[in-house]
Amino acid sequence: MVYKGLRFIMITAERLKGAYSEGEALAIYNEVKETGDFIGFAQQFMHNEDYQVARNTFWGLTKATNKELAQLQPILHELIDLAISVENSSVRRLSLNVIERLTFEEDDLRTDFLDFCLEHMTSYEEYPGIQSICMKIAYRICSFYPELLEEFYRTIEGMDLDYYKPAVKSIHRRLLARKK
């Protein structure tokens, strides 16, 4: 239980275990929203050893508005570290989804994260959801630097789309359309 002002978050790691439905993720989000402590909730559960706890934490956070998620801006690099290192693909995808909705500034360039995104957006073994999010994030990071943006475009132009799912192809087309 986390104390926030006069409200308590009654969410526990035990409660976040197990398979969640969309409704359960929304219920978690609504409880966190009542307290307004999105950063406290994220920091309390996102590193949990039980991947289901971390996954359900991020799933609940994906229900937040961009304004609510902006509270997580101070821990952007902590979120990036988690996304890069986590073994579980569901936690990776959901954490990347949260990261993608945060603000990137030119000062936020992390070459390790850019390399991670470039690698995972083109990897045939990666899940399409992760490929798509990595492509969007890589574009946003590269957009601050003309030379990196040109390299980004060369990379996506070289992708053989026969090996990718429709979600990746759609993001690919939209990003290439921005080049013109």
CA distance 162 to 171: 14
For the whole model, what pTM was predicted? 0.91
Dump pLDDT digits (tens) for 19-34.
Answer: 788 999 999 999 999 9
Residue 65: predicted pLDDT: 97
Annotated domain spans of the chain = 1-103, 106-180
Residue 9: predicted pLDDT: 58
Is residue 1's pLDDT more than 60?
A: no
Map tokens 């980004």 to a residue.
Answer: 152
Residue 2: predicted pLDDT: 47
Q: Which helix (H) or strand (E) holds 161?
A: none
Residue 3: predicted pLDDT: 46
- DSSP-assigned letters across all residues of 15-79: TT-S---HHHHHHHHHHHHHHT-HHHHHHHHTT-SSHHHHHHHHHHHTTS-HHHHGGGGGGHHHH
Contact assessment for residue 106 and residue 149, using Cβ atoms and an 8 Å cutoff: no
Nearest to 10 by CA among 31, 24, 36: 31
Dump pLDDT digits (tens) for 96-137.
Answer: 999 999 999 998 889 999 999 999 999 999 999 999 999 999
Dump pLDDT digits (tens) for 139-172.
Answer: 999 999 999 999 999 999 999 999 999 999 999 9
Is residue 48's pLDDT more than 70?
A: yes
